[in-house]
Structure 1
Amino acid sequence: MTGFLGTLEKLAPVALICGMGVLFARRKIIDATLSKAFSEFAFRLAIPAYLLGSFYRADLRQVFNPAAIAAYATTAVLGMTVVATVARTVTRCDARATALRIMAACQVNTAYFAIPVFLLLFGDATPIFPVILLQVCVLTVVVIAIMESTGAPTDSEAATPAGGVRRGLRAAVTTPIVVACYAGIAANLGHLSVPGWATDTLSMTGAAASPVALFALGLHLGGSGIRLRGTSSDEYWLIGMKCVLFPLLAFTIARCVFGLGAPWLGYLTVIAAMPAPQNLFIFAAQYDTDVDLAASVVIKTSVVALLLLPMWVAIAH
């Protein structure tokens, strides 16, 4: 019980900062539409600064644990297979809708949710770095490639599956977060000497990443609200898969297949328990696919994930 209460205490800042965003939006103190501005600051500057500095200082041999990466990759592949099977055979989704559901159930909100949570729970967010690279450079590329190659192409390159893959790869590897990760790894491996003023700038900017990201999420939640009536079985299935089945799958595979113990068993379970990625709605809007479903899943998994996190931490321990 002490451990459970301790986890709740550590997660209290997450709930409070996010809750303040909700309150400010509901009270009209800050317009909820400004959540995009806060999110852009976090996504394009604060979080990349944090990741760049952290990768530069990290012990990469500990961060890139082969067994842990293999366990999470296995979890992601199995999860994607399950979601694709259900989407195609049960709900009769087309390729784009299936890809969107895979993203909703098997990708996680690393930038706006996982980094703050890991800093509070473990005092270190480096364990999620391999997941960020796997998610952005592999899983997102798959989703973008499907989206690009199955709709009406906008140019000759996107008209073929290979063109969709190339387009998806370019879009994924040029995001600020991925560029920051690569730059940090390169500087670390190259033993690059970085001036003190530069590392201080990264530290100061990166320190804003967690509170700004959480506040932006709260503004978004406060402005959108949570719709309970009319929730479809498809939504319930995706929320259950993301918040319950996916972390349970990660825990089982990490422990029973790869024999992982502390601390990586806890890391992988908690990572998998993060909510659906916030850019799910962006993808849905961009490709005009299940926009309302995507928005609802992002909001509801954020709330459910926060409520269930103490349970997953206790199980992993």
Structure 2
Amino acid sequence: MGLLSAMQGFCVIGIVIFVGYVAARMQIGGPSAQMVLNRFSFFISSPCLMFAILSKEPLPEIFHPSIIVAFCSAMAVGVAFLVLNRIFFHLNAAESTIGALNSLYLNSNNIGLPIATYILGNPALVAPILVMQQAVFTPIGLTVLDVTTKGKVSAKEIASQPLHQPLLLGSLGGIVVSAISDRAGWFVIPKFLFDPIDMIGASAVPMILMAFGMSLYGSQPMQNKRNRDATVAVVVLKNLVMPVVAFLLAYFVMGFRDATLYACVVLAALPTGQNVYNYAARYNVGLSFARDGILISTLTSPVIITVVAAILS
């Protein structure tokens, strides 16, 4: 059943992505259509979706022990890239930071939400990952990029980074409401307020997938020969090594089985998050390296997740 659910989920996801690709090819919506869909889903739909989901989710489910697996497996592949870079690639400090982020940063929004929704059956599973990445990995990555590109640390910019992440704010708002509702013994948001939030949130996944499909039109990866080996290493670490590490930690260390084990490994096989390209663009470093890692890991991730479903089911 796990493999069948995964195949059906990817079929749903693939069709919507294909619609976005066709729309871009036919220039439906004009050249700014992808940007509009991305911005609307980023600033409005996705935060509403996470708020709607988490506000009704019990706190023990939100902060599930599986977050330990996600954190440790991400750290393992990030450190592995830095070691490989020291031995083989010899990228400078800023580019090696982009490479480490490319290896460990999960696409918990654009791909994670649809996969958690249609394959794992629980969109709330991405919430701990999202909080972990924004609270830990993003500040560390931005601090290193500040030091290596500017020679100084902008503490104000790093501290304010979570305030520029609507998805994180929506998630935290949902967690707060869940905690208040749990203490009150009833859901504290009136139905006439919750329903429009839930309705807007329902548009997030299709918009995200169509925008991604649009981004595939005209893409030409691996044009920068200098970073090819490092890009291959990033994809191998992200799509192959990280799920294996997650399985070993989940099965042998945490003792997870069945659906929890399956979710840990599937989420570890998510592709690199597009936030990494945003960080690279902000500091004008490793742009093609970040883009290629994201694109190739995104294209290969469904194959890996299908294999995971076939094995673990």
Whether the aligned pair in 1 keeps the contact of 2:105 and 2:276 (CA below 8 Å) is: no
Gaps of 5+ in 1: 154-158
| Map of 2:198 onto structure 1 | 203
1:123 is aligned to 2:121 = yes
| Map of 2:172 onto structure 1 | 182
Whether the aligned pair in 1 keeps the contact of 2:89 and 2:229 (CA below 8 Å) is: no
Distance in structure 1 (CA, Å) of the matches to 2:33 and 2:291: 17
Partner-residue secondary structure (3-state), 1:232: helix
State which drifts further: 166-175 or 221-230: 221-230
Whether the aligned pair in 1 keeps the contact of 2:81 and 2:233 (CA below 8 Å) is: no
| Map of 1:224 onto structure 2 | 219
Counterpart residue type for residue 54 of structure 1: I
Distance in structure 2 (CA, Å) of the matches to 1:316 and 1:100: 32
1:129-169 alpha-carbon deviations (Å, 9 max, x no partner): 1111001111111111111122225xxxxx24xx44x5323
Whether the aligned pair in 2 keeps the contact of 1:266 and 1:316 (CA below 8 Å) is: yes
1:164-221 alpha-carbon deviations (Å, 9 max, x no partner): 4x53232135411111111111111122621212110111011001000000111111
Q: 1:169 to 1:83 in 2, by over 3 A?
A: farther
Whether the aligned pair in 2 keeps the contact of 1:25 and 1:223 (CA below 8 Å) is: no
Distance in structure 1 (CA, Å) of the matches to 2:279 and 2:218: 20
Whether the aligned pair in 1 keeps the contact of 2:47 and 2:167 (CA below 8 Å) is: yes
Whether the aligned pair in 2 keeps the contact of 1:14 and 1:214 (CA below 8 Å) is: yes
CA drift of 1:225 comes to 4.2
| Map of 2:161 onto structure 1 | 171
Whether the aligned pair in 2 keeps the contact of 1:10 and 1:121 (CA below 8 Å) is: yes
CA drift of 1:279 comes to 2.0
| Map of 1:17 onto structure 2 | 16
Counterpart residue type for residue 50 of structure 1: L
Whether the aligned pair in 2 keeps the contact of 1:72 and 1:254 (CA below 8 Å) is: no
Distance in structure 1 (CA, Å) of the matches to 2:163 and 2:311: 35
| Map of 2:73 onto structure 1 | 75
1:58-207 aligned at under 5 Å gives the runs: 58-66=57-65, 68-152=66-150, 159-160=152-153, 163-164=154-155, 166-191=156-181, 193-207=188-202
Normalised by the size of structure 1, how large is the TM-score?
0.90
Q: Percent identity?
A: 20
Distance in structure 2 (CA, Å) of the matches to 1:309 and 1:31: 33
Q: 1:303 to 1:31 in 2, by over 3 A?
A: farther
Partner-residue secondary structure (3-state), 2:110: helix
Partner-residue secondary structure (3-state), 1:263: helix
CA drift of 1:249 comes to 1.2
| Map of 1:303 onto structure 2 | 299
1:222-261 alpha-carbon deviations (Å, 9 max, x no partner): 1424558958112111111111111111111111222111
| Map of 2:48 onto structure 1 | 49
Partner-residue secondary structure (3-state), 1:190: helix
| Map of 1:156 onto structure 2 | none
Whether the aligned pair in 2 keeps the contact of 1:251 and 1:268 (CA below 8 Å) is: yes
Whether the aligned pair in 1 keeps the contact of 2:112 and 2:267 (CA below 8 Å) is: yes
Whether the aligned pair in 2 keeps the contact of 1:108 and 1:274 (CA below 8 Å) is: yes
Whether the aligned pair in 1 keeps the contact of 2:54 and 2:62 (CA below 8 Å) is: no
| Map of 1:29 onto structure 2 | 28
Counterpart residue type for residue 297 of structure 1: G
Q: 1:23 to 1:228 in 2, by over 3 A?
A: farther
Normalised by the size of structure 2, how large is the TM-score?
0.91
State which drifts further: 125-134 or 25-34: 25-34
Counterpart residue type for residue 53 of structure 1: A
| Map of 2:184 onto structure 1 | none
Q: 1:305 to 1:32 in 2, by over 3 A?
A: farther
Gaps of 5+ in 2: 182-186
CA drift of 1:32 comes to 5.1
Distance in structure 1 (CA, Å) of the matches to 2:79 and 2:303: 27
Distance in structure 1 (CA, Å) of the matches to 2:179 and 2:281: 39
1:103-150 alpha-carbon deviations (Å, 9 max, x no partner): 111011111111011111122111111111001111111111111122
Distance in structure 1 (CA, Å) of the matches to 2:15 and 2:195: 28
Distance in structure 1 (CA, Å) of the matches to 2:160 and 2:195: 31
Q: Number of residues paired by the alignment?
A: 307
CA drift of 1:7 comes to 2.1
Distance in structure 2 (CA, Å) of the matches to 1:150 and 1:55: 37
Whether the aligned pair in 2 keeps the contact of 1:32 and 1:223 (CA below 8 Å) is: no
